[in-house]
Amino acid sequence: MTPVSEHDPDIGLFTVLREDGSADPKTDPNVPDAVLLRGYREMRRLRMIDAKMIVLQRQGRVGFYGACTGQEATPIATGLIASEGDWVYPALREQSVMLVRGFPLDAFIAQVFGNSGDVQKGRQMPSHHSGRSVNQVSWSSCIGPQIPQAVGTAFAMKKAKSGNVAFGFMGDGATSQPDFHAAMNFAGVWKVPCILVCQNNHWSISVPTEKQTASRTIAIKARAYGLPGVRVDGNDLLALYKVLSDAKERAKNGGGATFVEALTYRIGAHSTSDDPTRYRSEAEVNAWKKKDPLDRLRKHLVLRGLVSDAGDVAMDEELSAEVAASIKRVEALPPPDRASLFDDVYATLPWHLREQRDALVRGPSPVPHG
Ligand SMILES: Cc1ncc(C[n+]2csc(CCOP(=O)(O)OP(=O)(O)O)c2C)c(N)n1
C-alpha cells in the first residue's frame, strides 16, 4: 500500500492567502495586479447577482435559482485562466465562468427568466446556463453527466491536437455517482487534457461529506485512476489560480488530466427550494463565514494598497446599477416565440411537425355556434 503523508498534494491543503491577508511567498503565484482586480470585481458582481436573483425568486418573478455564495473563488479563477478555445462543463455553482469569459449579463439573466432574451429559448431549467459563444455547456440537473462529457470533449481535443483543455465541475455528492468513476477512469487511461474540479462544500443538500465517502479526502480518489489529485483551499483565489493554471499547463503539454478538490462551503441554501436550517447548525455556517473568499481576497488587496473602502463603495454602486438595469431590461422582454419550440432539432422539419407548428401558430379553431 502506498504510504500517505500530510505533505501529499491530495491529502494536504494548498493555500496562498494567510490569515493576516498576506500571500505566502512559498506558494504565491504572483498574479498580475490587473488580473487580481478583475477577479475581485467579478466576485463582487457575482455575489450581487446571486443576492438579487434570490430576491426575484422570493417575489415570484423567476421560478428557481441556485446561488454559489461562499463558493465564488473557483468559478472566477477558472474564468480568469480559461483560454478562448477551452470548454467548460459546470455543475450548479459554476455558471458564472461564462460571465468572466465575456458572456453578456443580459443573456445570463434572461436564462433565469427563460424568456426571449435567453439563448436557450426558455427550454432549460433556470440556473442551467449555456453559451455557444463561450464554449460552455449546460449541466443537465442530474448529478454527474457533465463529468464524462468534459472528459469526452477533452478526448476529442486530444485527437484534434487543438491545444485546448476542458474543465468539468462537480460537487462532493457527484463523486458517488457512476459517471464520476467512468470519467476518472477514461481520463486516466487516455491522458486527456481535462481538469476535473470537485467543489467540496461539505454538503450534498442535507448529506454531509462524511456520509458521502469513507475516503480520507476526495482528492485521494484520483490515485486509483492514475491521475494526480490536488487538494486546494477553495476560498483562496490565489491558490486556485495557481493550481488550475498548473493543471492547465500540464494538460496542454500532454501530461493528461488533473483532479482538483477545492475545499469550500455553501453559505446559503442549496437552492431556492431548500431550507438548510433543518440539517446544519448556525455555528457551522458562522465559522465558514469567517473564511469568506471575497473577504480574504479583499484583505490581501487592501494590504497591497490595491483596494480601499471608498473604492469599494463606488464599485458596488456601479455594479448594483449594472445588475439592476440588466434585470429591468430583461424582465421587460416577451416570452420566447411559441413556434420556436419546433426549431433546432431537424435541419428540415418533418411534415407532421410542420403541421403541428402551423396549427400552434394559427391558434385554436373558433368553436362553431349553434
Ligand atoms: C442523479 C441525481 N440524483 C439526485 C438528484 C437530486 N439532487 C439535486 S442536487 C443534489 C445534491 C448535489 O450535491 P453536490 O454534488 O455535493 O453539489 P452541491 O449542490 O453541493 O454543489 C441532489 C442529490 C439529482 N438531481 N440527480
From the number of C-beta atoms within 10 Å of its C-beta (0-12, 13-18, 19+), residue 11 rates as middle
Give the mutation target among 72, 179, 204 for probing the ligand 1 site: most ligand atoms within 8 A of CB.
204
Q: What is the pLDDT of residue 94?
A: 98
Rounded to a whole number, what is the distance in angstroms from the first to the last CA of the chain?
86
| Ligand 1 atom at minimum distance from 142 CA | 26
What is the residue with the minimal CA distance to atom 18 of ligand 1? Answer: 171
DSSP 244-284: HHHHHHHHHTT---EEEEEE----S-SSTT--GGGTS-HHH
Reading the chain (370 residues) residue by residue, the pLDDT tens digits are 567 888 999 999 999 999 999 999 999 999 999 999 999 999 999 999 999 999 999 999 999 999 999 999 999 999 999 999 999 999 999 999 999 999 999 999 999 999 999 999 999 999 999 999 999 999 989 999 999 999 999 999 999 999 999 999 999 999 999 999 999 999 999 999 999 999 999 999 999 999 999 999 999 999 999 999 999 999 999 999 999 999 999 999 999 999 999 999 999 999 999 999 999 999 999 999 999 999 999 999 999 999 999 999 999 999 999 999 999 999 999 999 999 999 999 999 999 999 999 999 998 888 877 6
Q: What is the pLDDT of residue 1?
A: 55
Catalytic residues: 266, 270, 279
Rounded CA gap, 178 and 159, in Å? 25
**Å from CA of 270 to ligand 1 middle:** 9
Q: What is the pLDDT of residue 370?
A: 64
Amino acid letter at 179?
A: D
Q: What is the pLDDT of residue 131?
A: 97
**Å from CA of 16 to ligand 1 middle:** 30
Which of 359, 24, 150 lies closest to 140 in space, CA to CA?
150
DSSP 137-172: ----SSSSTHHHHHHHHHHHHHHHT----EEEEEES
Rounded CA gap, 365 and 367, in Å? 6
**Å from CA of 333 to ligand 1 middle:** 32
CA 346 to mean position of chain CA atoms: 31
**Å from CA of 205 to ligand 1 middle:** 7
| Ligand 1 atom at minimum distance from 143 CA | 26
Rounded CA gap, 85 and 98, in Å? 13
Rounded CA gap, 155 and 256, in Å? 10
Residue 314 CB: number of other CB atoms within 10 A? 11
| Contact predicate 234/74, CB 8 Å | yes
Rounded CA gap, 268 and 106, in Å? 24
Helix axes 237-252, 73-81, angle to 10 degrees: 40
Rounded CA gap, 136 and 168, in Å? 10
| Domains, the chain, ordered by start | 33-336 (3.40.50.970), 337-370 (no CATH)
Rounded CA gap, 59 and 56, in Å? 5
**How big is the chain, counted in residues?**
370
- Within 6 Å (CB) of ligand 1, which residues are found? 92-93, 141-143, 170-174, 201, 203-205, 266, 270
E strands in the chain: 87-89, 166-171, 194-200, 203-204, 207-208, 229-233, 258-263
Looking from the CA of 160 toward its CB, the CA atoms found within 13 Å total 11
| Ligand 1 atom at minimum distance from 177 CA | 1
Rounded CA gap, 110 and 126, in Å? 9
Scan for cell 428557481, then name that residue: 64
| Contact predicate 61/331, CB 8 Å | yes
| Ligand 1 atom at minimum distance from 271 CA | 19
The sign of the dihedral angle between the CA atoms of 123, 125, 128, 129 is: positive
Phi, psi for 260 (deg, rounded to 5): -115, 130
